[in-house]
Chain A
């Protein structure tokens, strides 16, 4: 395997500017008051990775608890059922609301998208900063709710359990409410940016596919998140004032809550995956050194996924007491989302075909993504099918499904993208070898952890279970061991990236031979992104050796 860079940097010989966005201004205050999208992106990155870390620790505790059905470690029960419920709730809530939803758009998207558009900043820089501070506020509130009496509702907050249980549920819902507004602000900002701040010469179909993905995501953020806001506000009111909309004792309907929740949360899973897919659409052409196959099809599929995501939410309610007619309609619509997802899959493979493929760390993650997302997506089909979902819903099959798409899909893509843009963001190169080793360990550990859970679920092991029958023990134990391998891989990866920060600036401007605009500026970029207004000369992903005559 190659350990040196396989592509000659295009512009690496350009003299490095003395001032870049990182060192132009100094001091913590200059960071806290910055409106530079790159700095905000970096702050978001630090934030979401910390959330990932905390959520991951909770995940390891979950797995450790499930190691044996007696829950005894060193002869003692360390985790009681009550604690377990709180731990998986926090795991889910942190991973979803604090980590994965802002991860790609607000961290990487914030940094990269304006660069790709040749813009100097996002449309509303102050709104961008406000979004970050709302995220911080939400995170603080979530942490407080953890300290003052924990939450044990599951990340879905189903009523009437969530309205009757004690603990800091109200605070937690308000935290998520605030995080929702953070997400809305990001969405508004990005839609406006894509519409109005493209550099001269960049038409809609000259935008990199990453931008298409982020744009589609932003549409969902704008249109779906307000409903989450009102849902959680109603839940909080229900707890405080017993308004009786979701509470059957006061004439309300608990299934209504589920409609409200999933009207947001199903589109939200596409808030999670679309940016992941967007990253993959950058990585594959770059490391295959071949133009994107079916550019328009992939661009359209992002938008159509965003729109379709609004009409399938009822597939989470097949056994919830929704009417049978609604079940049939939602099942039928669910299958539609498989088509654009497949289109993306096949076009990525088409791009690799006859490419010139090198397996640097980002590309290893991209290939992991292809395999893992295929499994995650295909198992989604089992769940969308009415007769099989009745058996599989609320079992570990679902748990495995969504970890394959969220962890195996989005998070893997996120880590791949992080490696890809790391030199641009920090100006440093990490150690390629350790990056690749990390990618392999993560892949193996991930499959050990979650492939087993498909079998557990098919056998009838329900989710959110503290106790389980002895017959499931071997698979649970295997899964737990897998989570350690996975954790090891992630720690290694994190260490590798962090270690690179100690080096002097050594990254070339364009280490991978990328064709999109962000590679035209220096690494790290200057405060206003480009010395001169960049002008798009050829479409992205054009790897033909001669520049085409214009």
Chain B
């Protein structure tokens, strides 16, 4: 009847559910047996006189008080299970979710972002802090017995401790329009080792992209959100930045009249200190990505920008094979992330 239990508190939810189920079965059978039984036992006979029973106060009290007691019991039982699900433990890892029509964006503590694919380590509590960019969505993981609306303009939260390895289904449970039923994601509960690997490489697809940095860079362009401001087809996104098409190796004019060569250093500087040099005709609105990009991700982006350039020989060479960054020290990454975001 219920999906497999994937989280630590799913068991309690299921117990309450099953208890209610059996209580309902018993009550329903009682009602059904009476209704059908009486209809049969006292079926119509012409001339039979029925007793004139107007009421029985004792009975009224009994069948008000017993259900009341049952209800009080159910309420507290349900409250107990829910409290557990409502309050996330302090040590929980925090993953941010931004939902929009009709995709899921996950951001991990170190700034890694994924879309429609969520990785969490097994047996560690994880807490989601969620918000929406457009309408209300709802983060629903049936196996975890958890669900919470994602409301634009504010943050809501949800947490669970995944206990079962493997892929679980994430689905949007608040009506959000045409793609509502296609707004799905995969939640993969990994062993610690797998999760570490995912964290280092920033995506499980890493293995496939090692030798194709430009494609890897394109993926980062989508995932890191560059695509919201930078087009790759030469058009200018309103309220965004310059298109990346054809900028590699070009002498870009800045708003103070300087001319700057778009090369590896300049791109890295733009990522980390975007306000340092502002391209002529644009506003200084680009957020800093300092601490949010791994070196192989930067390499990928550079290769990608280069691949869009009209002058194949311009600028310094971009990498053709990606190398992994050195293993991060635990704690450092998260710190870097926080610093990077501080204004």
Contacts and interface: CB of A to CB of B under 8 A. Distances in A.
Q: Do A's and B's CB atoms come within 8 Å in the complex?
A: yes
Contacts of B331: none
A327 B24 CA distance: 23
B53 A354 contact: yes
A381 B77 CA distance: 12
Given A248-B154, A394-B173, A545-B49, A387 B3 contact: no
A541 B17 CA distance: 41
B289 to A, nearest CB: 26
A143 B80 CA distance: 47
A385 B50 contact: no
B174 interface: yes
Nearest to B21: A382
A387 B142 CA distance: 13
A152 B177 contact: yes
Interface in B158-181: 169, 171-181
B177 A165 contact: yes
Nearest to A154: B175
A319 interface: yes
A158 B2 contact: no
Contacts of B64: 339, 342-343
Interface in A342-383: 342-343, 345-347, 349-350, 352-359, 363, 367, 370-371, 374-375, 378-379, 381-382
Nearest to B27: A378
B256 to A, nearest CB: 34
B12 A387 contact: yes
A76 interface: no
A323 to B, nearest CB: 11
- Counting contact residues on chain A (CB < 8 A from B), the size range is 35 or more
Interface in B140-161: 140, 142-143, 145-149, 151-154, 156
A474 interface: no
A355 B50 CA distance: 6
Interface in B80-113: 80-82, 85-86
A345 B27 CA distance: 11
A6 B77 CA distance: 50
Interface string B17-31: 100100110011001
Residue of B38, B49, B52, B85 contacting most chain A CB atoms (<10 Å): B38
A161 B50 contact: no
A81 interface: yes
B38 A357 contact: yes
Nearest to B60: A297
A544 B49 CA distance: 8
A391 interface: yes
A319 B134 contact: no
A111 interface: no
Given A343-B63, A345-B31, A466-B181, A248 B153 contact: yes
Highest count of chain B CB atoms <10 Å: which of A154, A345, A379: A345
Interface stretch (A127-135, A222-230, A418-426, A457-465): A457-465
A391 B146 contact: yes
A254 interface: yes
A481 B85 CA distance: 38
A233 interface: no
B35 A319 contact: no
A359 B1 contact: no
Interface stretch (B39-47, B192-200, B241-249, B290-298): B39-47
Contact of A291 (B2, B27, B53, B181): B53
B54 A295 contact: yes
A342 B38 contact: no
A338 B75 CA distance: 12
Given A324-B86, A381-B74, A357 B24 contact: no
Given A385-B75, A459-B2, A319 B81 contact: no
A335 B75 contact: yes
A349 B149 contact: no
Contacts of B153: 248-249, 252-254
A371 B35 CA distance: 8
Contact of B17 (A349, A388, A393): A388
A387 B149 CA distance: 15
Interface stretch (B65-73, B114-122, B276-284): B65-73
Residue of A2, A85, A385, A387 ringed by the most chain B CB atoms within 10 A: A387
Given A338-B71, A391-B142, A81 B178 contact: yes
Contacts of A350: 53, 56, 59
Contact of A353 (B2, B38, B60): B38
Contacts of A252: 153
A290 B68 contact: no
B140 A462 contact: yes
A359 B72 contact: no
B3 A459 contact: yes
B29 to A, nearest CB: 10
B140 A354 contact: no
A371 B50 contact: no
A71 B138 CA distance: 25
Contact of A352 (B38, B77, B135): B38
Contacts of A324: 86
Nearest to B10: A391
Contacts of B136: 158, 160-161, 254, 320
B311 interface: no
A107 B180 CA distance: 38
B285 interface: no
Nearest to A389: B78
A21 interface: no
B322 interface: no
A39 interface: no
Given A358-B43, A458-B17, A375 B28 contact: yes
Interface string A522-550: 00000000000000000000111100000
Given A161-B175, A353-B38, A331 B78 contact: yes
Nearest to A8: B46
A249 B173 CA distance: 22
A297 B55 contact: yes
A128 to B, nearest CB: 34
A50 interface: no
Given A381-B24, A385-B78, A293 B152 contact: no
Residue of B32, B36, B82 most packed against chain A (CB within 10 A): B82
Contacts of A544: 49, 52
A386 B38 contact: no
B150 to A, nearest CB: 8
B13 interface: yes
B79 interface: yes
A53 interface: no
Contacts of A153: 175
A342 B67 contact: yes
A357 B42 contact: yes
Interface in A206-250: 248-249
A379 B175 CA distance: 22
Interface of A: 2, 6, 81-82, 85, 152-154, 158, 160-161, 164-165, 248-249, 252-255, 288-297, 319-321, 324, 327-328, 331-332, 335-336, 338-339, 342-343, 345-347, 349-350, 352-359, 363, 367, 370-371, 374-375, 378-379, 381-382, 384-391, 393-395, 455, 458-460, 462-469, 542-545
Given A386-B79, A394-B140, 10 more contacts: A248-B152, A320-B136, A320-B149, A320-B151, A335-B71, A343-B60, A353-B34, A367-B35, A394-B173, A543-B50
Interface of B: 1-3, 12-13, 16-17, 20, 23-24, 27-28, 31-32, 34-36, 38-39, 42-46, 48-56, 59-60, 63-64, 67-68, 71-72, 74-75, 77-82, 85-86, 134-136, 138, 140, 142-143, 145-149, 151-154, 156, 169, 171-182
9 contacts: A158-B135, A339-B67, A343-B60, A343-B63, A349-B31, A367-B36, A381-B24, A460-B143, A460-B169
- 7 cross-chain pairs, A with B, having the tightest CB-CB distances, nearest first: A248-B153, A460-B142, A387-B81, A385-B78, A386-B82, A358-B44, A335-B71
